[in-house]
Structure 1
């Protein structure tokens, strides 16, 4: 027998050993995962229904005192109809907009604005609110309709921002350099209603093809829910995130418990 040959049973030609099969999760682990998945599916639906019901109830309570008792639906019906105040408010606002667009309506609006313009405190509040509403609800406005990327908070780190309007003349004259600036809003996770507002050179903003709704979802989920991913995969991703948080909390608590015995 040569030196290169190995005797039988020496282990040189043994077939690879298959790894042991993974132990299937226990009954309680399956129940826990199913509960987390059901919570992720039902939670947003329940919160959406609750917020919608709260808004409808709030509008009803605000509009009902201005409606005479003879014109309320519950006067002639044995039960209260939720949303009747919302319908009346919608009709009233639509009628107000229709009247404002003609000559008589514009004249009345201008007279009211001149009247409010003579009040020192009310004037500033009214003008500020009017500009905000005109910017947000204008059909041809471009504020917060585009999504971009800005290198923030340090080089090599990119954050999602909502692109707004260019700065006004007063601010533009005070900004350094000759480049064109633009105002952006950087939402914070997981609450996109809070964040940072700042001016940045337009050349430093990278516009991306993403809707503002998808950007808000991406921020609220801390990057777990990606745009364009099917709904079932989004649910699985959220369930995996919840499971990872649970395992991290368990390992941390286990490490604290084992420390005294070392």
Structure 2
């Protein structure tokens, strides 16, 4: 009975979690549309309020509209006129004292994560953590700032050390490059290995082989 129960969990757990994550994302998109429609109905109460309310309650409409708006925004942003408007918008937002700090930080992080030229999560590394006799898998996220690099005076790298089994939290660390071991496994394989707490090995064993061969570092 225990064997059958565990086998059933292994079948349903990935499917249930996947459906939950997708449902959460779709609900978030639909909630954005619902908030906008609610604001329109509140600010402009007229004879069309009931029709707008019914339109808001249609299932799936909010998701389609939000996705369409995002796609259209992206289409406009990549042409010359859209880039000009984006520069005007950035200059306008950067004049607001508190908003500009939040906006610029989120903009830089988004550009780094979603652009193909960014260095975020460029490779998986082994670093010594939490002490010199143990190793942890981390992700290289770039190079230290100029001031930090000048103060340290050696070859250092920025790494993100995710926690297990929730990789969305973790630690930002600056470590010497000589104290890291670069893995040949992909970032996706390393992330799966971390989330599974080491129970799911990467599909390619080359990364672990390389790590073992350099264990003398």
Common fold by TM > 0.5: yes
Out of 140, 150, 161, the position equivalent to 1:163 is 140
- 1:25 maps to none
- 2:176 maps to 201
TM-score for the superposition, normalised by structure 1: 0.66
Say whether 1:226 aligns with 2:166. Answer: no
Q: CA deviation at 1:169?
A: 0.9
Out of 29, 32, 37, the position equivalent to 2:2 is 32
- 1:144 maps to 121
Contact 1:145 1:211 in 2 (8 A): no
For the aligned residue pairs, the C-alpha RMSD in angstroms reads 2.4
Gap regions ≥5 residues in structure 1: 1-30, 230-262
Contact 2:33 2:62 in 1 (8 A): yes
- 1:189 maps to 164
Distance 1:199 1:71, change over 3 A: farther
Contact 1:180 1:201 in 2 (8 A): yes
Distance 1:71 1:166, change over 3 A: farther
- 1:93 maps to 70
Q: CA deviation at 1:86?
A: 2.6
Out of 111, 124, 133, the position equivalent to 2:110 is 133
Runs of 4+ in 1 over 3 A off after TM superposition: 64-72
TM-score for the superposition, normalised by structure 2: 0.79
Residue 83 of structure 2 aligns to a residue whose secondary structure is helix
- 1:174 maps to 151
Structure 1 CA distance for aligned equivalents of residues 196 and 86 of structure 2: 44
Say whether 1:118 aligns with 2:88. Answer: no
Structure 1 CA distance for aligned equivalents of residues 186 and 64 of structure 2: 30
Say whether 1:107 aligns with 2:77. Answer: no
Say whether 1:43 aligns with 2:18. Answer: no
Structure 1 CA distance for aligned equivalents of residues 181 and 73 of structure 2: 41
The structure that has the greater radius of gyration is 1
Q: Larger relative CO (CA 8 A, sep 6+): 1 or 2?
A: 1
Contact 1:149 1:158 in 2 (8 A): yes
Q: CA deviation at 1:137?
A: 0.5
Q: CA deviation at 1:88?
A: 2.2
Q: How many residues align?
A: 192
